[in-house]
Chains A and B, each alone.
Chain A
Amino acid sequence: MAVNRNFRTCPTTGLVFHEPAEKLMRWNAVVAVVALLIGGVLAIGVLLTRWQAVHLLQADLFYQFLTAHGLNMLVFWIIFFEMAILYFASSTLLRCRLATPGMAWVGFWLMVVGALLNNYAVLRGDSSVMFTSYAPMGAHPTFYAGLILFAVGALIACFVFFGTLVIAKAERTYHGSVPLVTFGAITAAIIAVFTIATGAIILIPTLLWSLGLIEHIDSLMYRTIWWGFGHSSQQINVAAHVSVWYAGAAVVFGAKPMSEKVSRTAFLLYIFFLQLASAHHLLADPGLTSNWKIFNTSYAMYLAVLASMVHGLTVPGSIEVAQRQKGFNNGLFEWLRKAPWGNAPFVAVFISIVGFGFLGGISGVMMGTEQLNLIIHNTLYVPGHFHATVVIGTTLAFMGLTYFLIPVLFRRKVAFGNMATWQAYIFGISMSGFSVFMMGAGTLGAPRRHWDISFAGNPFGYEFPATAWLMIALMGIFGVGALVGGAMYLAITVYSVFLGEKIQTPDFATVSAKRGMAPAPQPVAVGATGHGAGVGAWGMVAPGTFVLALVFLTSFVLYYFVNWKYLSTVWPLR
């Protein structure tokens, strides 16, 4: 077997990088940030148009911007970044050479070409079909072709990831089981394979249809299969950012998972059930029975929600245990008060966990309840919900990871002092306000993807309640805050990567794996087992987290039944 393996050990973290893998991580991350930049610029137009007091763009431009914003953010930014995470979780964490770097580059370039082609289609102006591109509304063939190339590239990256797992096992670069973060990445990659396969099933016929080679695409079939792709891709994000949470807890606190068994079983529940929830997009559609809807939308009895609730407990729980072992063992919350509130990766991960759970998670379950969906479907509640999941949950977690990775991958200091910490607060808090007010407007019926809810000049107008307008204005204001936070991230990242202060590494050397590798990162010395090390209260190692979890549950239960109450007041329907 080839032994041409170049590794370097990061002097600050002790992480071991295979240079070809590292280069792939850098490039994927850079392209991801470019996509975020494009999506962010488009967000300005989208936001300032939906904020009707400003109403910036004309209708055609608005729908065009919205299509491109969705695609660049949801697809290109997130998935490029996830490719970097897959390489990190396999090659770096397993201290293993990357399988077939050449193929990985093929995948990367396919993704780049696909993303460009798709953006070109939207730029043409004849493909403002939203990222969902629901047939029979058709886009230019390059729209679908771009997405297909992108997906093929991503699939190749997934197989490089699985290949690296095989090599690591064969070459025994680790002992026993893979690290938990890698296991989370495996979960993400598995979901990705299903996602991409489903995408192929629907996008290839749609491409042929747009070329005139197929007569007809059925709208219901399209939506059913498309969401198997569209929603599953969001589940890749969930698995990926939960892994980033665990990584954050490990890196910032040296936290050990409370229990490998529980956390991995929770990921296993994701593998089994998470993807079924694609059905929650079809709850308001004809032609699918309630049996199918209820079973699938609930992830088979909410078992994947159970898994998320478990992760939501075990990540902060493991942080609490680590903090208590460091001596912050007083009362319920000393561990939290004494947390590093000035550390950017920590702040980002923390807001990501809280925002994803309280705002994204709870609202997601509401929309995913068969009957409650009736009072939510296609209102602004929906983008309100997913800006909480995919922006506060995923994007903010990735931002935190960036601040950790800039010194590691690019060997530059994060620029502008503690601006990164401020960025995490500003972005996280503004985005939370933005999502909440968007959901508020949606609860009052305001539709999503809509250029003018004042219906100006229409003989049959409708006037939304004044509160809805207030919510939209607040959404606009907080949205501007989020744009500022996003711009800060871009400024910090771009400046640090290209102009940041170089980190000197005097004893830097590339070692071949044959000569052995550097020692593993030093774990925190205290209380090696974590369990029962004399911390905690009430016979629990993490009582503070438990109290927080109960607060979460209480809000969840109350809000859930408030929605049923609201539903019970609308017209009877059967």
Chain B
Amino acid sequence: MSAILPPTERVWWKEPLDRVELLWIVIALVWCLIMFFMMPYWHVYGQQNLANEAYKTSPEAFAKKADEVIAKYKVREEGPQKIPVVKPPAGSDVYLVARLWSWQPILELEAGKSYRIHLMSMDWLHGFSLQPENINIEVHPGYDHVLTVTPTAPGKFSIICNEYCGINHHTMISPLYVVK
């Protein structure tokens, strides 16, 4: 009879549907399918897709590769902690190390060029949040995540941590430069 009483009909499965429900189900289903196929569609025709490329590795191995890149392409140091700034050649592999509570090195990239950026944490989870672009990616310890990124316009950007990582979480920020 009502939703808090058992159905009056013993067999309710065969009751006819009203037109409202039928029409709405069809419309909603079509919309659901459109939303579903939008995702594979964007993998084929869209520009912004999160890479599937990832490897298991150890913090030591990752830090070693990062240090090699810093040694090769360092151009200067910045900030009171003298964080190295690297300017890697286009197309190269760059390692960005997240740890409590800093990002290293600072990257200087060229607009319009692509880079393979490896993201990994040395300790806990961190969040790579590139502002003001607003690209947000989870950074795990033990998983080397390889993104191919193409900065579009020159400017000063910031990487802030947006995965809670303890008491100084809100201090974990680094610049990222894009030059012509």
Residue numbers of A with Cβ under 8 A of B are 59-60, 63, 93, 128, 130, 134, 136-137, 174-181, 218-220, 223, 246-247, 249-251, 254-263, 282-287, 289-290, 294, 298, 301-303, 305-306, 309-310, 313-314, 317-318, 365, 369-371, 373-379, 443-445, 447-453, 455, 458-462, 464-465, 520-521, 523, 528, 531-532, 539-543, 545-546, 549, 553, 556-557, 560, 564, 567-568, 570-574
Contact = CB atoms under 8 A, between A and B. Distances in A.
Nearest to B131: A445
Given A134-B124, A306-B28, A462-B158, A546 B20 contact: yes
A371 B136 CA distance: 11
Contact of B133 (A137, A174, A310, A570): A570
B20 A313 contact: yes
B160 A573 contact: no
A543 B145 CA distance: 51
Given A313-B21, A455-B170, A567-B48, A378 B32 contact: no
Contacts of B16: 531
B20 A545 contact: yes
Contact of A219 (B20, B140, B170, B171): B140
A294 B40 contact: yes
Given A181-B4, A260-B12, A374-B137, A130 B164 contact: yes
B54 interface: yes
Interface string B165-180: 1111111011100000
B20 A541 contact: yes
A86 B168 CA distance: 42
Interface in B22-65: 23-25, 27-29, 31-33, 35-36, 38-40, 42-43, 46-52, 54
A231 B25 CA distance: 26
Given A93-B4, A306-B29, A573-B51, A546 B18 contact: no
Contact of B50 (A254, A448, A455, A573): A573
Given A260-B15, A374-B50, A450-B169, 14 more contacts: A63-B169, A137-B165, A181-B3, A250-B5, A365-B35, A370-B42, A374-B136, A377-B136, A447-B129, A451-B169, A545-B20, A549-B24, A571-B150, A573-B48
Contacts of A546: 20, 23-24
Given A176-B7, A371-B39, A444-B134, A290 B79 contact: no
Contact of A177 (B6, B33, B135): B6
